[in-house]
């Protein structure tokens, strides 16, 4: 069984729509900037991939919610649907929810209420959404939400589901990362020997997933499968066995072989352990699969957008299918040894047909998810 993707929407530091984000990725734009959300003097890291939408440069509450609503509106419009979601479930993947708003309430007395710290009330106000769920599954959250959406459609619980993800940079998370990372990254450089760790990004993303035959515009792409596991191997360090199991299960569920994959949207967090583990597992999985797929990592230009990062990579995979172009990994000059034999796109965007794509998302605690999507024929 496959599930149709009929609409997409996204907001990131490099653009306010999926088309603009993809254009910027293909152009190889460097968009990290000095930290603006909070006082950089407190931290070793001085850069982030923030959305520059603050009035007078001052941080504001409910930015993650604002982007979420904007991305969903884009996706609904593209899918030819009204903004009445009273009968359409909305599944949101996130890492922090509105934690930044809580910080601003605590430190500056921002006018937010308890109901503002999750998304259900705002989605009800904006779209009349009656059924909303939030998945706080670290970096894999939005792909977990996608997996739940496909299950709901397959079980007959819904014909149409909106899947989304959103996160704003929070000072508590930024500070935690700043202290636990051994080195201080000045940029997020996945799979390059210069990688020193991750830097936070911001944004929101949404897709409309529908059962085939429900009408509306032709699908942009189809979801073949989503695999999920939680290996619980370590609080932060990835487990090769858990990642390998997630990738192989996704292939099995989708009914594809390694040789069928044209593109891998890498998790590519820029942390040495994650990059080395992901690269080693993929080198094993795709060994003997001919030339192997092209691979890219968009966090090199968007930063790590946390809970929505997996779904944002999926939306960019859909763009790659539509345009026959794969954006490069920015800053990749000397791949780490584990990635030396992989088809990493370097220097400039690559022109290539993309029919089937794999999307990786691996989070703290061994929370892993892998999606397989195919071009609409």
Task: State which H helix or E strand residue 78 sits in.
Answer: helix 63-79
Structure confidence at residue 318 (pLDDT):
98
**CA–CA gap between residue 61 and residue 64 (Å, rounded):** 8
DSSP string, 287-313: TTSTT--EEE-THHHH-B-GGGHHHHH
**CA–CA gap between residue 363 and residue 99 (Å, rounded):** 18
The torsion defined by the Cα of 294, 28, 279 and 242, in degrees rounded to 10, comes to -100
pLDDT in tens, the chain (377 residues): 789 999 999 999 999 999 999 999 999 999 899 998 888 899 999 999 999 998 777 788 999 999 999 999 999 999 999 999 999 999 999 999 999 999 999 998 889 988 888 899 999 999 999 999 999 988 999 999 999 999 999 999 999 999 999 999 999 999 988 888 889 999 999 999 999 999 999 999 999 999 988 877 899 999 999 999 998 888 778 899 999 999 999 999 999 999 999 999 999 999 999 999 999 999 999 998 888 999 999 999 999 999 999 999 999 999 999 999 999 999 999 999 999 999 999 999 999 999 999 999 999 888 999 999 999 97
Q: Give the three-state DSSP class for 114.
A: helix
Structure confidence at residue 234 (pLDDT):
82
**CA–CA gap between residue 330 and residue 303 (Å, rounded):** 11
Using N-to-C axis directions, what is the helix angle for 171-180 and 99-108, rounded to 10°? 100
Q: Report the DSSP pairing between strands 3-12 and 203-210.
A: antiparallel
Structure confidence at residue 247 (pLDDT):
98
CATH class of 3-210: alpha beta
Structure confidence at residue 215 (pLDDT):
77
Structure confidence at residue 130 (pLDDT):
96
Residue 18's closest CA among 59, 92, 79?
79
Could you tell me where in the chain the CATH 3.40.47.10 domains are found? 3-210, 223-375
Structure confidence at residue 73 (pLDDT):
98
- Indicate the CATH number of 223-375 among 3.90.580.10, 3.40.50.10440, 3.40.47.10, 3.40.50.300: 3.40.47.10
CA atoms within 13 A on the CB side of 13: 29
Sheet holding 221-230, edge to edge: 132-135, 90-93, 160-167, 203-210, 3-12, 221-230, 367-375, 356-363, 263-265, 294-296, 343-344
Using N-to-C axis directions, what is the helix angle for 99-108 and 63-79, rounded to 10°? 150
Chain CA centroid to CA 72, Å? 15
Residue 310's closest CA among 367, 375, 352?
367
**CA–CA gap between residue 286 and residue 259 (Å, rounded):** 7
Buried b (16+ CB within 10 A) or exposed e, 90-117: bbbbbbbbbbbbbbbbeeeebebeeebb
SS3 content of the chain, % helix, strand, coil (to 5): 40, 20, 40
Residue 315's closest CA among 335, 290, 332, 298?
298
Counts of helices then strands in the chain (DSSP H, E): 10, 15
- Residue pair 64/201 in contact (Cβ under 8 Å)? The answer is no
Structure confidence at residue 216 (pLDDT):
79
Chain CA centroid to CA 210, Å? 20
DSSP state of 49: B
Residue 91's closest CA among 29, 150, 45?
150
């Amino acid at each position: 069984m496959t599930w149709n993707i009929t609409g997409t929407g996204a907001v990131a530091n490099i653009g306010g729509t999926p088309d603009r984000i993809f254009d910027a990725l293909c152009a190889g734009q460097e968009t990290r900037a000095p930290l603006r959300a909070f006082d950089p003097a407190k931290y070793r890291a001085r850069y982030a991939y923030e959305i520059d939408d603050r009035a007078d440069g001052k941080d504001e509450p409910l930015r993650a919610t604002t982007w979420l609503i904007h991305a969903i509106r884009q996706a609904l419009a593209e899918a030819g649907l009204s903004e009445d979601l009273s009968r359409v479930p909305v599944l949101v993947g996130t890492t922090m929810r509105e934690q930044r708003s809580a910080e601003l309430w605590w430190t500056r007395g921002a006018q937010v209420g308890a109901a503002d710290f999750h998304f259900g009330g705002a989605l009800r106000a904006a779209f009349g959404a009656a059924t909303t769920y939030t998945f706080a599954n670290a970096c894999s959250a939005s792909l977990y939400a996608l997996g739940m959406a496909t299950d709901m459609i397959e079980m007959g619980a819904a014909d149409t589901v909106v899947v989304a993800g959103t996160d704003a940079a929070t000072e508590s998370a930024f500070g935690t990362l700043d202290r636990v990372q051994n080195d201080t990254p000045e940029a997020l450089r996945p799979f390059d020997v210069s990688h020193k760790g991750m830097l936070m990004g911001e944004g929101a993303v949404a897709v409309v997933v529908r059962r085939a035959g429900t009408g509306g515009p032709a699908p942009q792409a189809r979801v073949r499968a989503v695999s999920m596991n939680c290996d619980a191997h370590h609080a932060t360090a990835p487990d090769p066995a858990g990642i390998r199991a997630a990738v192989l299960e996704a292939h099995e569920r989708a009914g594809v072989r390694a040789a069928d994959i044209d593109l891998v949207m890498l998790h590519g967090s820029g942390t040495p352990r994650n990059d080395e583990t992901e690269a080693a597992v993929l080198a094993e999985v795709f060994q003997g699969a001919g030339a192997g797929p092209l691979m890219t990592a968009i966090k090199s230009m968007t930063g790590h957008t946390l809970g929505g990062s997996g779904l944002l990579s999926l939306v960019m995979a859909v763009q790659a299918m539509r345009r026959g172009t794969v954006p490069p990994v920015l800053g990749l000059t000397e791949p780490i040894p584990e990635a030396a034999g992989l088809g990493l796109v370097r220097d400039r965007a690559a022109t290539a047909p993309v029919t089937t794509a794999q999307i990786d998302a691996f989070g703290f605690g061994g929370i892993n998810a892998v999606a397989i999507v195919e071009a609409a024929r």
